[in-house]
Structure formats: structure tokens, C-alpha cells
Amino acid sequence: MPTALDFSTCDREQIQYAGAIQPHGALLVLHEPALRIVQASANTGDYLGLPPAALLGQGIERLLGDEATAALRARLASLDLCGMLLHLMSVGTTARNERFHLFGNRADGLLLLEFERLDEPARTGAPDLYQEVHSTLQRLQAAPSLQEFLQLAVAEIRALTGFDRVMAYRFAADGSGEVIAESVAANRETYLGLHYPAADIPEPARRLFALSWLRHLPDVDYVPIPLVSAPTAQPADPVDLSYSFLRSVSVMYTGYLKNMGVKATLVTTLLKDGRLWGLISCHHAAPRYLPYETRVAVECLAHMVSLLMGAKETEEHYAYRLRLGAARGQLLDALLKTEACDRALLDAGPELLTAPHADGAALLSEDRLRLWGHTPTEAEVRALADWLATRQDPHFVSHQLALDYPPAERFRAVASGLLAVRLSPAAPDGLLWFRRELLQTLHWAGDPHKPVTIDDHDDEVRLLPRTSFALWKETVGGQAHPWLDCEIEHANELRQGILEFIIGHTEQLRRKNTELVQSNLELDTFAYAASHDLKEPLRGIHSIVQFLQDDDGDRLSDDGRQRLATILRLTHRMDDLIESLLQYSRVGRIELDLQLVDLNAVLLQTLEDLQPLLKKNAVQVRVQEALPRLQCDHVRVAEVLSNLISNAVKYNDKADRQVTIGCDATLDPPVIFVRDNGIGIAPKQFGRIFQIFRRLHGRDAYGGGAGAGLTITRKAIERHGGSIWVESVPGEGSTFRFTLARPR
Ligand code: ADP
């Protein structure tokens, strides 16, 4: 019965100890220094002219003759050969009139010699490999991007080898791979863009790929040739064939290739910084042997591609870094040109904010949230920012957000990736970049989660690799493209720049504020002095006009008396204005006498003082809630209440005038209000009523007034750190609300 099994079982297969070779060459294992043959591939009779029986236990001169053996000894003396297989020389044999390439490798104290025929059918139409490789390199160097570079490389290798499919295959961090470039014969389907699960290239094969540059399998259906040793000898230890060209390959591998309809392969390694980066894999639908010379050319190209590829990739990264740097520079420049940091960021084009290849971005600043592109909802972003604010780190990076922050599961489609920086140690203010889930379904060549089966008929356990090569779709759930180091760096540097700006800006604001306080004080002193000094001559004018009216009024014409009366009225008005100005400047200059005050007592006293006015107008006063006890200057607060209540009575034309006073103590600081059912104020006038000497009505309408009451009221409130605002519906009434402390 077939048993489910993960393909990685063959991770344990020791393929370097294959004990057999492929039939397109012969292999001898020798003891040094005697160069005595201890093992031979079973095909030496056919291939080299002397069967293993004639060679085992003999010196190598039995096969090569004395002259070639001497040359070989001289060559071996100068070479290390550990961890590599080198071309040593070309030789003939005593038994055959043929020439062979001879390769050597030393492993576990043994010398391995491999023979491959020199007269194999030469590659057609390739007179000068050097020229070809040279011109290929020139074209590769000119390729503008890594993608085009690899595309060119596979096309060149296909031209050189004549294989009908050449693919560049790149490994991801999890070991899976993707076909990122391909050159394929016109009649074959394309594998471009296919992903392969990690288990398709098992660990031992990966290790061997990293050890040698080139693997060639001329015929998938070959019959392995075993290595044999002398019948009398002790059973030999398995020979390590890690570096052998001829090593027999795993049945897993040939089975896999057969499933794909591949009869011959050539695989070269792409290394970057000494690490396996990918492969160039050549497939052919019929057996195909590549002579050594062509293989050398391909190997040389693979070396060059590896070197250039590193440079191209670095170049691309560098260009991207530059782009990020430019976006950052533009944002920070915009900051310098503006007063408000969030304004500059808000005004920045979305492309600047999404520069680190993000699908969306968010800016949270002083409780204002702005979103660009694909993001979670406003509430979700706020909750996320609150969570980020509980973390120590000023930055956060994830390409699987729901793992760190489970609520992100709900919005993983738009934000599986998050790169965030905090802009305030105290508030959740920050910049956030989002990346969508890789819902773009990847094209898997075979279901990576579908186990392979073991076919255990005949008691022989054989692994059967997946038989399906149809396109499978695998959703990479909850994952986004990981953030690159340079993107994280970009976010941190942007944060640094913004913080420096904010610190500089705060300092500037603090300085401006001190200057403003100083000049306000000077202005108040000036207003006080000016109004005080104006009072004196005004009083003079008033008395003279008064005398004139009393003493000489009879001698004046009606017009004259009328004019004197106008002068008197104007001096009264001017006196009112100067008095208001004095009061206003006094509120700005005097020290507040701050004490814990029961506002209910202050209100009671104020209502008492206003009794005549309230009575005269039959006002119904209601105190809705008890007022709090607050730290304040009770004289100023009494003036505030008095002013608001008398306005509530004054600007009221209803028959039943009502004034309600109350407080919302659940707020911090508590908000006190004075409400009336009077004439109301149009919303567009809300700002004007707090300006000095501004009235919304004719001079004498609604009992007249200097138009300074609310300005003085506001100043008194602001001196306490509080603020005042109004809500109103014209014709229905107004509510003035105020606080007496700074918001916390
Ligand atoms: P004054 O009452 O001396 O005119 P204020 O500064 O107290 O000056 O008020 C400025 C203006 O705001 C008033 O002239 C009036 O038009 C408007 N105003 C103030 N309080 C009220 C209110 N409760 N209802 C309607 N209008 C008001």
C-alpha cells in the first residue's frame, strides 16, 4: 500500500556515495603513491579496453604505459586535487587506439581518475568557443537590469548547448524556487514564473550543487555502472564521489525528470557571495551529451554570470536606495518650507509616502489620521497604532503581521506587511506603510503540500516523486513581500529627520511664545497707560462741555445746544470704550489669585448681584448641575459668569426669558455652560463676537454695549489656561461653554 511520505526523505539519501557511475566515461580508484588500482567501474573493458579484472591490483602503468604514467605522476605531484576535480591531461591507453580526457580528484586518501572520450561527437558548428563566450560576456555586461541580464544569459547558454529548454531558477529564503528567466524551444510550454517547493531539490543535491559548478546527465535512462573491487580484497569503503563528473544520480532525480519528459540535463550553479543563489538548468527532450570543451564554456559563463549577477543586483539595490533617498529628501525639504510637520506630510504626493514599495500608507498626527492607497479602515489603523505605542521599539517591521498582532487577521488582504515608525514617545503618532498579502496566487509546479508516495512492492522501497506537473495554485496566506533592509533604513531615517524637525520646530515655537507673552504684556501696559492718560483730557472735555451747557446753554442756538449734547454723549461713549480697554488690559496684566474655589458660591453671588436685571426682565434662571470646585481666581470667574449671564438676558427678545447654567463634570477639565433662549448667533459670526469692540447690532440696540465684554471674558478664561466657544441656533438661543484649565 502506498505510504504518504514527504519528499524530503531523500534529504537523507547519501547521493555522494552512489557506488556507481554513468556510462559516458570510466572511473578508477587508486592508492597513492604507488598508483595501484583498487576499484574500477565495471565498464572499463568496453570503454578503456581492459576489464576490471585486468586492472584491479595493478599499477596505472598497466593501462597508460610508462611514458604517460610518468607524465601523470609529475602532474599529480604539483596538484592538490582535494575538494575539486581537475582536468589533468589527455591520454591514450595501451589497449585502445583512442584518446581520453583524464580528470583527477583526491578524497578520503584515495585518488579518483575519470576518463571521458576525446572523440565524442563534437558540438556542431562551434568553431571558436572562446570567441562565443567573449561576445556573450560583452552582451551580458550591457544588460540594463538583472531580469534582462538573466534572460540574455539563458538564451546564450541555450545557443551554446543546443538544449531545448534553459531556465534560470532562483531560491527564496524558505528554499523554494522560482523560474525567473527561460529560453525554450518554440513548440514547448513555458515554465517561466513557476514556483517549486523546497523539497524538489533535496538538501544533499543542494550541497553538491554548491560544491561543483556543473552537473551533466546525458541520458536519463542510463543503466548505472557499478564500481567493483578485487574479489579477494576486503569489502571497500564506499568512495566519496562528491566531485565526480560521472557520479550516478539519485533515482529520485531521474524519476522526477522522466515525469517532466526530460531525457538529458545540464545544471550549473549560480553563487552570490559564496552562497547558492540559484541554478541554470538545461533540459532536453532527447538524450544529449555535451563534450567537455562545451561544458567548460558553459561553466565559464556560469562563473561570469555569478560575478556579474552580484554586481547587477547590487546596482539595482543601489538605484532603489537612491530613489528612496530622493523621496526622503523631498519630504524633509517640504518640512523645512512649512510651519506644520503633518501639513507637509499630508501635502506630499502619495508616491512619496509609498516610496518603500508599499501598497498604502497612514499618517497619525495629533489624533488626525490620513490614509493613502490600500490600507485597513480608519478604526483598524487607530487600534494598530495604539498597539504599536505599547511597544518599546520606535519602529516595527513585519511581513506576517497577524503573527505579532492577531487582530490583523481581519485585514490581512490589505496589510499582511507593516513597516511603522513612531513620531512621538507619548502619543501613538506615527507613519505606517502597508503591504498587501501575496494573494497573487503563486504558480506552483506541483502542490508543495502534497506528499509523495512510497511504492513498496517487491519489498523494495522506492520513492516516487510527484507525477503531476500541472499548474497548482498555492496561496501564501497572511504573508506579504518581506521588507528590504534599505526600506527599513529609509523609514528610520525619515523618522529621524521628522523628529529633528519637530524638536527644532518646538524650540522655535517656545521662543516665539516667550516673545509673544512679552509683547502682549507690553501691549497691555501700553493700552493701560494710554487709556489711563486719555481719561484725564476726556474728563476735561466733558466738564468744559458740561459747564458750557449749564452756563451758556441759553445763549446758544438750538443747533449749538444739540451739538453740545452730541459731544457729551460721545464723551460718555468714549469713556465707556476707554474703561473697557482698561479692564481688558488689566485682565492681561494682573496676577491671578489662584485658589480652590467653589464655583457654586461664586455663581450664587453673581446671581445675587444681577438680581435687579433678572427681576426687571422676569428671567427664569435654572442651575442644571452643581458646579465643581476648581483652582481659579474667583473675582475673574465672577466677571466671566456675570458677563455671560447678562448677555444671555440682554440678547433675548422672548417673553419668557430663560437662562440655564450647568456643567459637564465628566469631562476633564470640566466644561461649564451658560445657555439662553435668546436671539441666537449666526455660525459665521462665532469668531467675530470675541473680537474687541465688535457688536453684531446697532450701537444702541439690545441695551447698547461697548462690544468688549466677550473679549475680556475670553482673556480671563485663557489666562486660566482654559478656552471658550459658542454653539447657537439663530432665533432659538445660544450656549456659551468654557473651561478653566489646560486640557491634559
Ligand atoms: P456687548 O454685549 O457689549 O455688545 P460682548 O463682547 O459681550 O459685547 O458681545 C459681543 C456681541 O456678541 C454682542 O454685541 C452680541 O451681538 C453678541 N452676543 C453676545 N452674547 C450673546 C448672546 N447670548 N446671544 C446673542 N448674541 C450675543
Is the pLDDT at 465 greater than 60? The verdict is no
Give residue 232's Cα distance to chain centre: 68
Domain for residue 208, yes or no? Answer: yes
Range with the lowest mean pLDDT among 70-84, 126-140, 411-425, 457-471? 457-471
Which amino acid residue places its CA nearest to atom 13 of ligand 1?
Answer: 695
Q: How do residues 265-284 score in pLDDT, each as one tens digit?
A: 999 988 887 788 888 999 99
What residue ranges line ligand 1, CB within 6 angstroms?
A: 647-648, 651, 676, 678-679, 681, 689, 695-697, 705-711, 734
pLDDT band at 215 (very low <50, low <70, confident <90, very high): confident
CA of 652 to the centre of ligand 1 (A): 11
Q: How do residues 662-679 score in pLDDT, each as one tens digit?
A: 999 888 899 999 999 999
The residue-averaged pLDDT of 126-134 equals 66
Residue 184 and residue 154 share a domain: yes
The residue-averaged pLDDT of 506-516 equals 82
Locate 276 and state its grid cell.
547558492
Domain for residue 339, yes or no? Answer: yes
Residue 731 and residue 595 share a domain: yes
- Please tell me the chain's helix, strand, coil percentages from 3-state DSSP, rounded to the nearest 5: 45, 25, 35
| Mutate-to-test residue for ligand 1 from 584, 587, 617, 647, highest number of ligand atoms within 8 A of CB | 647
Task: Tell me how far apart the alpha carbons of residues 605 and 474 are, in angstroms, rounded to a whole number.
Answer: 78
The residue-averaged pLDDT of 581-586 equals 84
CA of 731 to the centre of ligand 1 (A): 14
CA of 695 to the centre of ligand 1 (A): 6
Output the pLDDT for position 163.
Answer: 95
Is the pLDDT at 2 greater than 70? The verdict is no
Residue 216 and residue 68 share a domain: no
Query: Whole domain around residue 55: which residue ranges?
Result: 15-118
Which residue would you say has higher pLDDT here, 234 or 480? Answer: 480
Domain for residue 108, yes or no? Answer: yes
pTM beyond 0.85, yes or no: no
Q: How do residues 332-359 score in pLDDT, each as one tens digit?
A: 887 777 766 666 776 776 777 778 889 9
Task: Tell me how far apart the alpha carbons of residues 255 and 251 are, in angstroms, rounded to a whole number.
Answer: 6
Domain for residue 111, yes or no? Answer: yes
pLDDT band at 1 (very low <50, low <70, confident <90, very high): very low
The residue-averaged pLDDT of 134-151 equals 81
Measuring CA to CA, which residue among 169, 172, 197 is closest to residue 183? 169
Domain for residue 568, yes or no? Answer: no
Tell which atom from ligand 1 comes closest to the C-alpha of 643.
7
Are the C-beta atoms of 462 and 362 separated by less than 8 Å? no
Output the pLDDT for position 239.
Answer: 85
pLDDT band at 199 (very low <50, low <70, confident <90, very high): low
Q: How do residues 47-97 score in pLDDT, each as one tens digit?
A: 999 999 999 999 999 999 999 999 999 999 998 888 888 899 989 888 888
What does the DSSP assignment read for 465-492? -----SEEEE--TT--PPPPHHHHHHHH
> What average pLDDT is seen over the chain?
84
Beta pairing, strands 658-664 & 620-623: parallel
Task: Tell me how far apart the alpha carbons of residues 432 and 355 are, in angstroms, rounded to a whole number.
Answer: 12
Is the pLDDT at 612 greater than 70? The verdict is yes
Which amino acid residue places its CA nearest to atom 4 of ligand 1?
Answer: 707
Output the pLDDT for position 119.
Answer: 60
Which amino acid residue places its CA nearest to atom 1 of ligand 1?
Answer: 707
CA of 597 to the centre of ligand 1 (A): 27
Residue 416 and residue 367 share a domain: yes
Task: Tell me how far apart the alpha carbons of residues 38 and 18 are, in angstroms, rounded to a whole number.
Answer: 17
What does the DSSP assignment read for 214-283? EEEES-TTPPPEEEEE-TTSPPPPPP--TT-SSBPPPHHHHHHHHHTT--EEEEEEEEETTEEEEEEEEE
Is the pLDDT at 450 greater than 90? The verdict is no
Output the pLDDT for position 233.
Answer: 58
Q: How do residues 620-651 score in pLDDT, each as one tens digit?
A: 999 998 999 999 999 999 999 999 999 999 99
Beta pairing, strands 225-229 & 36-41: antiparallel
CA of 614 to the centre of ligand 1 (A): 17
Residue 189 and residue 206 share a domain: yes
Which residue would you say has higher pLDDT here, 402 or 424? Answer: 402
Range with the lowest mean pLDDT among 396-400, 476-480, 554-558, 577-581? 476-480
| Mutate-to-test residue for ligand 1 from 643, 653, 689, highest number of ligand atoms within 8 A of CB | 689
Please, which contacts does 229-233 make with residues 24 or more away whose CB atoms are closer than 8 Å?
229/38, 229/39, 229/56, 230/38, 230/56, 230/57, 233/38, 233/56, 233/57
Domain for residue 249, yes or no? Answer: no
Tell me how far apart the terminal alpha carbons of the chain are, to the nearest angstrom. 74
Between the CA of residue 97 and those of 28, 66, 367, 621, what are the distances in Å?
A: 19, 16, 90, 128
Output the pLDDT for position 556.
Answer: 87
What does the DSSP assignment read for 397-432? EESSHHHH-GGGGGGTTT-SEEEEEES-SSS--EEE
Q: How do residues 92-127 score in pLDDT, each as one tens digit?
A: 888 888 889 999 999 888 999 999 988 644 544 445
Domain for residue 226, yes or no? Answer: no
Locate 160 and state its grid cell.
551554446
The residue-averaged pLDDT of 493-503 equals 85
Structural domain ending residue among the three candidates 75, 96, 118: 118
The CATH number given to whatever domain includes residue 655 is 3.30.565.10
Which amino acid residue places its CA nearest to atom 21 of ligand 1?
Answer: 647
- Percentage, residues of the chain above pLDDT 90: 41
Give residue 668's Cα distance to chain centre: 38
Are the C-beta atoms of 280 and 267 separated by less than 8 Å? yes
pLDDT band at 506 (very low <50, low <70, confident <90, very high): confident
Tell which atom from ligand 1 comes closest to the C-alpha of 696.
16
Residue 309 and residue 374 share a domain: no
Residue 402 and residue 290 share a domain: no
Tell which atom from ligand 1 comes closest to the C-alpha of 652.
24
CA of 65 to the centre of ligand 1 (A): 123
The CATH number given to whatever domain includes residue 213 is 3.30.450.40
Residue 159 and residue 95 share a domain: no
Output the pLDDT for position 463.
Answer: 40
CA of 661 to the centre of ligand 1 (A): 17
Domain for residue 298, yes or no? Answer: yes
CA angle, residues 27, 33, 38, in degrees to nearest 5: 35
Residue 205 and residue 151 share a domain: yes
Tell which atom from ligand 1 comes closest to the C-alpha of 708.
6
Torsion angle (degrees, nearest 10) of CA 176, 180, 185, 187? 70
CA of 681 to the centre of ligand 1 (A): 9
The residue-averaged pLDDT of 569-593 equals 85
Output the pLDDT for position 621.
Answer: 95
The CATH number given to whatever domain includes residue 90 is 3.30.450.20
Q: How do residues 483-497 score in pLDDT, each as one tens digit?
A: 988 899 999 998 998
Residue 411 and residue 310 share a domain: no
Output the pLDDT for position 316.
Answer: 81
Residue 160 and residue 301 share a domain: yes
Output the pLDDT for position 214.
Answer: 83
Q: Where does 553-632 have alpha helices with state H? A: 558-589, 599-609, 611-616
Q: How do residues 695-726 score in pLDDT, each as one tens digit?
A: 888 777 888 788 889 999 999 999 999 999 99
Output the pLDDT for position 234.
Answer: 67
Locate 684 and state its grid cell.
459665521
Query: What's the structural domain count of the chain?
Result: 4
Residue 334 and residue 311 share a domain: no
CA of 263 to the centre of ligand 1 (A): 97
- Tell me the backbone φ, ψ of residue 284, rounded to 5 degrees: -140, 145
pLDDT band at 255 (very low <50, low <70, confident <90, very high): confident
Instruction: Kindly give, in sequence order, each residue whose CB lies less than 8 Å from that of residue 359, ignoring residues fewer than 6 positions away.
Output: 373, 374, 414, 434, 435, 436
Task: Tell me how far apart the alpha carbons of residues 330 and 232 are, in angstroms, rounded to a whole number.
Answer: 82
Beta pairing, strands 110-117 & 165-171: unpaired
